[in-house]
């Protein structure tokens, strides 16, 4: 590094350490908002960027569209200097640029880095010396090195000297009251040792525990391992559920018994499929990248096949239950209970409930849903239903031919559901005392 580069790094480290640095967060969704709030809470000025004008206006008015983030926290952040904008020319005003943009799969179940790449193209002309750019979005090993770094250097900047590149995977768990942005340990990998030093300084003021690793590739792989671990084990227990059901064994009783072992076993629970922005997607980022090295990740892909088949398994149970009552799916009134991807949140990303809904619709079912966290079916990239939530009452339950429990919100009155629903397809194992009108799926 030249003397000028060393001075730029020292100045940035000083601003990060004394909290005079301006933090820029690109993408103000489920990851970006909690991170913004944390930096505002500890005294940084935060400038938020998003391409959604509506979202920016909401946040600047002190309103969060995310259910588990209280509006009062947004208002407090505004008092601390937070401003949201769609004007990416203001990137030059910040010291740190943290990218929290989506990394979905395309229709071929291959990584879609279009949001990451387009964001880099947007910010590129406005980057300047002495800034650090961090990618938090889940991705395959090599993304930072192969996609981010070259774009940062197009304008003459040198990564590791005049600008710094870091990968630090988000670990948000929406709705989990036991862990917050500050208490979840943060993995940090830098493109160079100087980049790592800057990345550590950036997060040190806001996160309780940092976990440095040797490279951005190691940090990228860490996030994939975490979620592939879960995907594989959920795939295992989903397959065990099918086997146990065929044998007349209650898989939930088996799991409860197995988890009494104080070592060597971690309880995972079956369901209607995988949801959320990580677990259904992350394994395919690694399997795609592995092919570049001539490797076929058979174990991971098999788990993915099992998990993707779960909505069809639920529908098979639905068809069997209705047939036993002399009815078909076509024309039957079918209510989906819970359409968020997990309990007690309003997050719809990759929700398996939506796949179940589409299968019911394709079979001609008269579809409705109840979800206290999702009053109106939201606009989604690949799915659409012109539906609003039906109030869950004894009368609305009794009107149905069948209800399918796909998301086990705590707000549901399960005693009322069991008493008034004519037929229940339970994909979450909530109803442990099975009756003639309750079918485990």
Of 315, 137, 369, 352, nearest to 234 by C-alpha is 352
CB 175 within 8 A of CB 68: yes
Question: CA 30 to CA 281: how far, in whole Å?
Answer: 16
Of 377, 379, 396, 378, nearest to 388 by C-alpha is 377
**Set 45, 100, 195, 278: catalytic member:** 278
Kind and range of the H or E run holding 72: helix 71-79
Q: Kindly list the strands in the beta sheet with 366-370, ordered across the sheet, starting from the edge strand earlier in the chain.
A: 366-370, 333-337, 402-405, 424-426, 438-440
278 is catalytic: yes
Question: CA 160 to CA 193: how far, in whole Å?
Answer: 8
- The 8-class DSSP code of residue 21 comes to S
Supply the DSSP string of 127-163, one letter for each residue.
--TTEEEEE-S---TTHIIIIIHHHHTTTS--BTTTE
- Report the alpha-carbon angle 163-97-12, nearest 5: 50
The CA-atom distances, in angstroms, between 295 and each of 217, 281, 283, 437 are 18, 19, 14, 47
β pairing state of 163-167 and 186-190: antiparallel
Structure tokens at 388: 């609003």
Kind and range of the H or E run holding 24: strand 22-26
Of 111, 215, 161, nearest to 10 by C-alpha is 161
Structure tokens at 256: 């409860």
Question: CA 148 to CA 101: how far, in whole Å?
Answer: 13
Query: What secondary structure, in 3-state letters, does 287-301 show?
Result: HHHHHHCCCCCHHHH
Which residues are annotated as catalytic?
278
């Amino acid at each position: 590094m030249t003397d000028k580069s060393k001075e730029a790094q020292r100045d940035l480290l000083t601003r990060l350490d004394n909290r005079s640095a301006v933090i820029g967060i690109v993408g103000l969704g489920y990851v970006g908002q909690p991170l913004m709030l944390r930096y505002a809470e500890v005294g940084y000025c935060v400038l938020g960027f998003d391409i959604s004008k509506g979202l920016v206006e909401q946040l600047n008015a002190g309103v969060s569209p995310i259910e588990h983030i209280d509006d009062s926290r947004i208002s407090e952040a505004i008092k601390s200097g937070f401003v949201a904008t769609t004007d990416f020319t203001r990137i030059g005003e910040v010291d740190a640029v943290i990218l929290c943009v989506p990394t979905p799969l395309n229709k071929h179940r291959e990584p879609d880095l279009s949001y990451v790449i387009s964001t880099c193209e947007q910010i590129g002309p406005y980057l300047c010396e002495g800034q650090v750019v961090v990618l938090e979005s889940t991705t395959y090993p090599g993304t930072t090195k192969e996609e981010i770094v070259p774009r940062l250097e197009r304008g003459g900047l040198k990564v590791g000297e005049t600008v710094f590149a870091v990968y630090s995977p988000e670990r948000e768990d929406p709705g989990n009251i036991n862990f917050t942005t500050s208490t979840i340990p943060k993995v940090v990998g830098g493109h160079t040792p100087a980049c790592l030093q800057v990345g550590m300084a950036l997060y040190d003021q806001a996160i309780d525990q940092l976990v440095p690793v040797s490279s951005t590739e190691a940090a990228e792989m860490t996030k994939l391992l975490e979620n592939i671990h879960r995907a594989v084990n959920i795939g295992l227990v989903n397959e065990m559920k099918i086997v146990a059901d065929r044998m007349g064994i209650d898989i939930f009783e088996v799991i409860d018994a197995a988890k009494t072992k104080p070592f060597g076993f971690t309880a995972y629970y079956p369901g209607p499929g995988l949801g959320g922005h990580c677990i259904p997607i992350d394994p395919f980022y690694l399997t795609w990248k592995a092919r570049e090295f001539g490797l076929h990740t058979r174990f991971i892909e098999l788990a993915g096949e099992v998990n993707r088949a779960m909505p069809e398994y639920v529908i098979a149970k639905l068809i069997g239950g209705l047939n036993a009552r002399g009815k078909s799916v076509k024309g039957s009134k079918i209510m989906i209970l819970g359409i968020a991807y997990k309990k007690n949140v309003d997050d719809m990303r990759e929700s398996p409930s939506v796949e179940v809904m589409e299968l019911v619709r394709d079979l001609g079912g008269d579809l409705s849903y109840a979800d206290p966290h999702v009053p109106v079916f939201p606009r989604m990239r690949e799915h659409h239903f012109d539906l609003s939530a039906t109030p869950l009452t004894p009368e609305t339950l009794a009107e149905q031919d069948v209800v399918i429990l796909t998301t086990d919100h705590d707000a549901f009155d399960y005693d009322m559901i069991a008493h008034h629903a004519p037929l229940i397809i339970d994909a979450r194992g909530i109803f442990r005392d099975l009756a003639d009108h309750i079918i485990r799926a």
